[in-house]
Amino acid sequence: MQINQTTFDYIIVGAGSAGCILANRLSACGKHSVLVLEAGGRDWHPILYIPAGFMKTLVNPNFNWMYESSPSEGTNGRIIPAPRGKVLGGSSSINGMGFNRGQKMDFDVWAQMGNSGWSYDDILPYFKRFESYVSKEDQSYRGATGEVTISDLNWNDTLCEAFMDGAESLGIKKNPDYNGADQEGISYLQRTVKGRTRMSASRAFLNPARKRQNLEILTHAHVTRIIFSKQKAIGISCVIGKSAEAEKTIYANKEIILSAGAINSPHLLQLSGVGCSKLLQKIGSKIKHELPGVGENLRDHYATRLTCRVEGVNTINNRARGLPLLGEIFKYFIGRRSILELGPTAIFCFLRSDKNLDQPDIQINFTPGTHQHGMQSTLERDAGFTLATWQHRPESFGYVRAKNTDPFHNPEIQPNYLQADIDQRVIVEAIKICRGLTQTNALKPYFVEETYPGMHCVSNDELLNSAREIGQSIYHLMGTCQMGPKTNRMSVVDHQLKVHGIQNLRVIDASIMPTMVSANLNAAVMMIAEKGADLILGRN
């Protein structure tokens, strides 16, 4: 796709969850011309809409940046995949669809760090604005008329129900709405699925706005740098087309908004000469503005898993190959219940690793299936289930740093998983809790054995090593352009999401989160975009 216009009021870099919302909201009044630039292509492929298709998008470079983190001690020297959506809708088009806002305290901490207007009470209306969900509990916490359909997974099969009953027997309460007043407990997950198909940000926000005359959506447009006039952002350079031959310069009358995510937003700033001066000198990027926090404070959820073999009950493994799989495909397309309706998990469980804590600090996901070690897109043959678990608010942090000035050369991504002592302690306790959940009377008729890490793995050191050996990212990378006052020298944007020291430039995506939320990130990113749109338009 080409454009003839070379100047717009607003230029949005990235058509992910944040970029799609911003495109919709900023163009809604018809007064502002808006350009959205997406490095990936259109979201036309059926695999992006069938919930089970996530298994293939994780390894498909047509929809995925295919990023990887650098080896570290915390992963026993392994390279960890870090998938990021490279398609309209961004990661909302390839993620696991789980919808989880986080806890009230997550956002209150942001406000306490000097970010006025970001407490839970301040941001709750922005969650509600985009939601379309009818709560079984208190509807005052939820939105019912927004663009994003959120539905409860209806998958109460034998093994899932046995796991739920077993958890309840251990004193874990069932929670009808973990996005309501209280997160703690166990529940079938809420997810961004409408009917039987994925509700991506592109489907929810771009599709209804496509016909607006003041909105342009440009795919296969890789932004290479931001153009400045002194301390003011005035435009961008981008390479357009799959052949990566045609470079174009486009200017913004009002603002440039980076919504390229926790990897690409800081990388683009560094390529444009904004960041730590030592890094910029090292890679040969001309220094435009010193901001040492650009690319720092990278955090992610690092999950380990416990897998078990079962008998006397069908799991996804049994139904995902051969003739049974053909039957599941047929059932999906005629509207009957099918494993193609499932994402990566069925049940969310939010617990405390220490009873003295005020709020849950771990999440456990139950899946009635298992995948092959190191091959998340390939299921095992034997019937089994998986408990994946991670720490809500990890204290380990790392960085994203450009290696050179080539915009097509991936940056170094180093999350430093399990670097902090508390992260190590919590992941060990989480594994122990998972093990207890497999030994309930409700699961006893089906349980055969723990296949990983195995009952021979008992000591804290052995359990920690198992997490280092098999753990993976949950793809919740954030924090690399953190929000904070100027008094925090590592902050990149202020409470209005404006880049410190530069005019007409904002960052609005997961990179602005100063601390990790107790959740999958998609919900919080959409909230940030809703609030960001109001900040740009001068609305409270």
**Residues assigned a catalytic role:** 476
| Tokens of residue 170, six digits | 């251990």
Tokens 């706005």 -> residue: 209
Whether 233 contacts 52, CB under 8 Å: no
Say if strands 384-391 and 302-310 run parallel, antiparallel, or are unpaired.
antiparallel
- C-alpha to C-alpha distance for 227 and 235, rounded to whole angstroms: 5
- C-alpha to C-alpha distance for 306 and 365, rounded to whole angstroms: 10
Whether 507 contacts 338, CB under 8 Å: no
| Tokens of residue 504, six digits | 């007409």
User: What per-residue string of b and e applies to 411-420 under the rule 16 or more CB within 10 Å gives b?
Assistant: bebbbbbbbb
- C-alpha to C-alpha distance for 144 and 185, rounded to whole angstroms: 23
**Which H or E run includes 228?**
strand 221-229
- C-alpha to C-alpha distance for 334 and 14, rounded to whole angstroms: 36
For 431, phi then psi, to 5°, come to -65, -40
Q: How would you write 242-266 as a 3-class SS string?
A: CCCCEEEEEEEEEEEEECCHHHHHH
For 482, phi then psi, to 5°, come to -60, 145
Return the DSSP state at 114: T
| Tokens of residue 2, six digits | 């080409």
- C-alpha to C-alpha distance for 395 and 397, rounded to whole angstroms: 6
- DSSP conformation letters of 163-190: HHHHHHHTTPPB-S-TTSS---EEEEPE
Q: Which amino acid is at 379?
A: L
Total H helices, total E strands in the chain: 13, 29
Tokens 């021979």 -> residue: 456
Angle formed by the axes of helices 421-437 and 460-470, nearest 10°: 90
Q: Which amino acid is at 107?
A: F
- C-alpha to C-alpha distance for 148 and 290, rounded to whole angstroms: 39
